[in-house]
Amino acid sequence: MHLPSTFRALANLDFRLWVMGAFISNIGTWLQRTAQDWIVISQLSENNAAAVGTVVLLQFVPQIILLPVTGWTADRLNRRKLLITTQVCMALLALILGVLAITQIIELWHVYVCALLLGIVAAFDAPARHAFVSDVVVEKELTNAVALNSVSFNSARLIGPAIAGLLIAVVGAGWVFIINVVSFIPLLTALVMLGRRALKGMQSKHSSHSKMGFLDGFRYLAAHKEMIVVLVMLSLICGFGMNFSVYLSAMTVTEFGGHASQYGLLVSMMAVGSITGAMVTASRPKPSFGFMVCLPGVYAVASSLVAVSPSLITFSLLLVVLGLSLQLFTTSSHTFMQTATERAYRGRIMAIVVATALGSTALGAPLVGWIADTFGARWSIGVGGLSGLMAFALGAYYFRTSYRAP
């Protein structure tokens, strides 16, 4: 199958099975995230952005706490079977939330508990999911496959929230959770089908490094200082920029007086930029360190412009630019880290990358929510400009003084 270079990894049947199943599942995930955020801020709290931030914190903080175990697990165990287990657990948690909401007995603490449990499951799912891409493609396809995987995720983020906003208004948030349960079926089917095929790297590689300890990932990272710099920049940007569920829901209810469908539209507008950013990454070769140093500066400018946007239309359009800058950096950093890492360490290194991104997002969520509640929703976006400048300054300093291209 001949495809344009931007989509070259899709010529691989294994990758097509994976990415198609993941796309449908990701749509369901964004349906649930949108419904969950909206039910928290509009029904279970008094327009409290900090409550949404707490949900984000509980959902993502396990990524930090369980980091040593999850990365080691992703490298030691059969990643396909591990993903089947985590997907089933996530579906069960969505079912619980759906039943609670439909029966109208749901309370805020129910969402908190389910968010924490989902975070624990996701802590094992995320590094395995990222590293699994290298199991279904050959090495020369990896950069493109990582970027296309991101396109799939962000395309779902474009579609999911917009659909969720309409579904919440028509059938209620509870049934949105149930629809997410159904969306896991295609991905589970793809994982079962892939089990009948000889994947490119997983089974042959696991036996050679299964006895390596989980701390070896940190030792490997310590020997590559440029990776540490990328992780610090990633944490600065994710801590504020990736908490869009907090600041967009706050902008919707406090600045624009909107409703669920408007919130879904804003998330989708940001996803338009994210898809564009992922497509740009897919069309490029492996991202250079110098390229990534410039991206936080672009994000800083975009964040500042969004924060001072005078109208809903201007705000919505600039969200595209903000999503573009965020996705260019996050996808490029994930690609850089994975392609620069030896296969034997990828599970552990990607666990560190995911923990850094999601963990800093979780830790920043309550702060972003507090800023929105105390100083206004626009300030919760504007602080992202400062974090972007700090990341740019750090990367530029290291690039000028210490970086040596391999």
Q: What is the pLDDT of residues 16-48, one digit of tens each?
A: 888 889 899 989 988 998 888 888 888 788 777
Q: What is the mean pLDDT of residues 270-287?
A: 76
Q: How far apart are CA 242 and CA 252, in angstroms?
A: 17
- Tokens 């090495």 belong to 139
Q: DSSP readout, 237-267?
A: HHHHHT-HHHHHHHIIIIIS---HHHHHHHH
Residues with Cβ within 8 Å of 349's Cβ and at least 6 positions away in sequence, in order, are 71, 217, 220, 221, 227, 337, 338, 341
Q: What is the mean pLDDT of residues 217-241?
A: 88
Answer whether 291's CB lies under 8 Å from 143's CB. no
What's the Cα-to-Cα distance from 251 to each of 309, 315, 354, rounded to whole Å? 11, 10, 27
Range with top average pLDDT, 111-125, 335-349, 392-406: 111-125
Among candidate residues 145, 158, 201, 205, the one with its CA nearest the CA of residue 7: 145
Length of the chain, in residues: 406
Q: How far apart are CA 86 and CA 2, in angstroms?
A: 34
What's the Cα-to-Cα distance from 273 to each of 28, 190, 325, 366, rounded to whole Å? 20, 28, 8, 25
* pLDDT, tens digit, 9 for 90 and up, residues 315-345: 999 999 998 998 889 888 888 887 778 777 7
Reported confidence tier of residue 207, pLDDT bands at 50, 70, 90: very low
Reported confidence tier of residue 105, pLDDT bands at 50, 70, 90: very high
- Angle between helix axes 225-241 and 289-307 (nearest 10 degrees) is 10
Reported confidence tier of residue 204, pLDDT bands at 50, 70, 90: very low
pLDDT at 1: 46
Global confidence as pTM: 0.69
pLDDT at 336: 83
Average pLDDT, the chain: 83
Structure tokens at 315: 């705000």
Q: What is the mean pLDDT of residues 189-211?
A: 60
Q: Does the structure show a pLDDT above 90 at 236?
A: yes
Q: How far apart are CA 51 and CA 286, in angstroms?
A: 39
Between 42 and 377, the higher pLDDT residue:
377
Which domains are assigned to the chain?
Answer: 5-401 (1.20.1250.20)
pLDDT at 212: 55
